[in-house]
Structure 1
Amino acid sequence: MLVQRLGAPSDFDPLLERVRDARVVMIGEATHGSHDYYRLREQLTRRLIAECGFSFVAVEGDWPDCDRVNRSVIGAPGGAADPRTALERFDRWPTWMWANAEVARFCRWLRAWNLDRPASARVGFHGLDVYSLWESMQAIFDYLGEEDPTSLEAAQEAYRCFEPYGKRIEEYGMASRFVSARCEEEVIRLLARTREHATSDGPDRFSAWQNAEVVAGAERYYRTMVGGGPESWNVRDTHMADTLDRLLDRYGDGARGVVWAHNTHVGDARATDMGADGMVNIGQLARERHGADAVALIGFGAYRGAVIAAPGWGSAAETMPVPPARPGSVEQRLHELLPERAVLVFDGPDEPDWATGTVDHRAIGVVYDPSFESWGNYVPTRLAQRYDGFVWCDETTPLHPLPAVSFPGELETWPSGV
């Protein structure tokens, strides 16, 4: 294991050397509300783009919202002149995950970087997630109305099937336990029509296809969610992995992608108790599909600090304390061993016991209660198998959300909102 003190972006050199030849680099976060994770992830991503030629950034966010950001950062016709304007339109709770000053800073840099390059060489910004059923449906209507009115019928049939459940789409999940209530056939027809048109070139056609894939994924997600267990989680992460693969294909030969998501999605599930529970994630799926040498997984962690999170699902975000990590945890051990900030690169069989044995590793979602630290918020982990590299911050500070008005969105996911 190599350990490098972090102070400047150049201190990422050992990690960059480890991951520079990867086709996919996934960069995690231990919370969705820590400034330090977002800022360090930005620094590393800038270097991957500028020095290694990565093609796009794909995040744990909704496709339609991120598509507006993408149009801004690549300078597409009709795109916002300032990416912050697009980020401020995020209205699905928790808005602060992406509508924050840290992401705005990165996207402004990315736009400036792109506008100095030909359109074919510009770096995109895309959403991987599955939640935006209604927004994706509307985007399909808008596209078909302009480009293919004859296919509107398939979209309208799918819409009519979901319409009785309104915005509370989880009610569809409950109703779908009865076969007559399912919308699978309508969604399959919609997906088939948009796939046919997506075989032609053009970003709008690809986006319409991806929105249809979101509708199909959302239908499966809500139908499986009511049954409990790992299946809905697996539907969601498989959808994100499939979206990543479509983006790699879309960007063409030699395309390379950076993924931003929570540690729980990025770190290989097989190195945690998630694997024993039958759960997969995008880190595991990418390693299986592309090979471990083509995929680099980077985790984050901290000993204590403060975080932006909410006390309950749909509640207003607050600045909350993150108490010192649980005794015996990865975080407590690294607090004893490492400087205030450091990067670890796992590079061989002779790793220390705390990196190869099963040790608790903290995971904070958008819903957080610091009083649960004594028994919750930790995932048993074999760190050197879960990640290829790890970024350490002894103490973190809160994220800086942009002003936003949000609605609650979907039901809670396991673990709490990651």
Structure 2
Amino acid sequence: MIRYGDEVASIARPLRDPGDLEILLDRAAGARVVMIGEATHGTHEFYEWRAALTQRLIAERGFSFVAVEGDWPDCQRVDAAVRGGTDPREALVRYDRWPTWMWANEETVDFTCWLHEYNAARAPDDRAGFHGLDVYSLWESMREILTWLREHDPDLVPAALDAYRCFEPYAEDPNAYGWATQFVPASCERSVVEMLTTLRDRDFGVWQNAEVVAGAEGYYRTMVRGGPEAWNIRDRHMDRTLDRLLDRYGPAAKAVVWAHNTHVGDARATDQSQYGEVTLGQLARERYGDDEVVLVGLATYRGSAVAGPEWGAPMEAMPVPPARSGSLEEILHLTAPPCGIFVFPPAPDGPDLLTTVLPHRAVGVVYRPERERWANYVPTVLGERYDAFLWFDESHALRPLHTLRVDTREPETFPSGV
């Protein structure tokens, strides 16, 4: 580990306050998309510093919106709030799909309240938005579609009802639908495609909800078979949603994306590519070009995080033990500042730390700390997976808004709830 000491010293800078982010803002100045990751879905420092960076990108670099690893209908309530509606806390506390703490937390309240205040001083067409990229809200999106059509375009209600009724026998249980399609010709794909074709030129929100239904139908149908296909459906859906949002905001639009490292990082620099997986960060680089995209990874050596011991279990503030021997996190623990920021030189000019394959921790919403010795690590070429990195030697669990036990029928995401 000591051999990395001089290398780390040459590229690491202390991260003490938001002013220290200037070097990263300069790196992102010409980018169209900045993606900011997290190594867990439940760490205070990740949410706090991701918000601090995003605030500066919006206020000082003109970024147009934030797109998160969250459901479209839930995030649209938040979007309405930050654009001048009710208190954003009221919208966030309504998140009720497990894992609720991912967005129903005090850290996200703090950011969205800042965004609400920022937007209040701007013209309606110049306000920054908050949107969801994910694919899970099949039934919620179906209900949003029907509500909108009944009010605005009742002639199209039958096409949406046909799709909705196809899913009714499964009682909003994605597992039941997924397994049914494996044994009988029960797929709702045809009805969904017909509905999507009908709604494509309608209101942007109702069109996006139709895209969610189409993506979710394919995701649940393929997930029960295992393998990379379901993962790829999900990340490709997020990629297409991001692109639609950029088009919606206009040719000068710029986006900040919040998602787990396993989505933000480029799969080609990890073993994900060996399994046939693509990631949102990789797809963005391919779509917009490397110079238009900045990927920011985050990591911690030890601390605590909110997670569940199994899918649907009550949330807990769990210990995150010291990272395993030989990992990227152990190297940085021994050589980097307690809180640090790295902006990488272009490959292949970087030092060994950036070009060597190293284990890099990834904790999902399902976490069992006792498995640290053999699980939770992704082999990573750091300088190829990301363009920059934020480091926190010790971290703490975030602050959920509520601890309600909610519906646990949502199937576990592949590979570990990330």
TM-score, normalised via structure 1 length: 0.96
Aligned twin of 1:201: none
Aligned twin of 1:27: 36
For 2:154 and 2:92, how far apart are their aligned partners in 1? 30
For 2:196 and 2:49, how far apart are their aligned partners in 1? 38
3-state secondary structure, aligned to 2:407: coil
For 1:192 and 1:254, how far apart are their aligned partners in 2? 28
Aligned twin of 2:169: 164
3-state secondary structure, aligned to 1:163: helix
For 2:315 and 2:77, how far apart are their aligned partners in 1? 24
How far the C-alpha of 1:172 sits from its partner, in A, is 1.1
Contact 2:315 2:403 in 1 (8 A): no
Aligned twin of 1:373: 372
Aligned twin of 1:317: 315
For 2:359 and 2:37, how far apart are their aligned partners in 1? 17
Equivalent residues in 2 for 1:122-141, closer than 5 Å: 122-141=127-146
For 2:403 and 2:94, how far apart are their aligned partners in 1? 8
3-state secondary structure, aligned to 2:58: helix
How far the C-alpha of 1:340 sits from its partner, in A, is 0.5
Aligned twin of 1:352: 351
Whether 1:299 aligns to 2:282 is: no
3-state secondary structure, aligned to 1:177: helix
Equivalent residues in 2 for 1:229-378, closer than 5 Å: 229-348=227-346, 349-378=348-377
Whether 1:221 aligns to 2:219 is: yes
Letter in 2 for 1:394: D
For 2:388 and 2:193, how far apart are their aligned partners in 1? 40
**Deviation per CA, 1:364-386, whole angstroms, max 9, x where unpaired?**
01111110011000000000000
Whether 1:48 aligns to 2:57 is: yes
Contact 1:89 1:404 in 2 (8 A): no
Contact 1:304 1:324 in 2 (8 A): yes
Letter in 2 for 1:216: A
Aligned twin of 1:382: 381
Contact 2:13 2:337 in 1 (8 A): no
Aligned twin of 1:398: 397
Contact 2:174 2:411 in 1 (8 A): no
Letter in 1 for 2:116: R
For 1:195 and 1:356, how far apart are their aligned partners in 2? 44
For 1:38 and 1:172, how far apart are their aligned partners in 2? 34
**Deviation per CA, 1:111-130, whole angstroms, max 9, x where unpaired?**
00001000010000000000
For 2:183 and 2:287, how far apart are their aligned partners in 1? 35
3-state secondary structure, aligned to 1:164: helix
3-state secondary structure, aligned to 2:197: helix
Letter in 1 for 2:320: V
Q: Which runs of 5+ in 2 are unaligned?
A: 1-9
Distance 1:219 1:415, change over 3 A: same
Letter in 2 for 1:314: G
3-state secondary structure, aligned to 1:181: coil
Contact 1:304 1:394 in 2 (8 A): yes
From 167, 170, 183, the counterpart of 2:188: 183
> RMSD value over aligned CA atoms?
1.0
Letter in 2 for 1:48: L
**Deviation per CA, 1:178-202, whole angstroms, max 9, x where unpaired?**
46311111001110111132xxxxx
3-state secondary structure, aligned to 2:257: strand
How far the C-alpha of 1:403 sits from its partner, in A, is 1.5
TM-score, normalised via structure 2 length: 0.96
**Deviation per CA, 1:271-294, whole angstroms, max 9, x where unpaired?**
000001000010000000100100
How far the C-alpha of 1:409 sits from its partner, in A, is 4.6
Contact 1:101 1:400 in 2 (8 A): yes
For 1:169 and 1:187, how far apart are their aligned partners in 2? 15
Identity, in percent, stands at 59
Residue-pair matches, total: 407
Contact 2:344 2:383 in 1 (8 A): yes
Contact 2:199 2:210 in 1 (8 A): yes
For 2:408 and 2:129, how far apart are their aligned partners in 1? 28
For 1:210 and 1:193, how far apart are their aligned partners in 2? 13
Aligned twin of 2:26: 17
Aligned twin of 2:112: 107
Q: Which runs of 5+ in 1 are unaligned?
A: 198-204
**Deviation per CA, 1:29-74, whole angstroms, max 9, x where unpaired?**
0000000000000100000000000000000000000000000001
For 1:133 and 1:280, how far apart are their aligned partners in 2? 23
**Deviation per CA, 1:376-411, whole angstroms, max 9, x where unpaired?**
000000000000000000000110000253322521
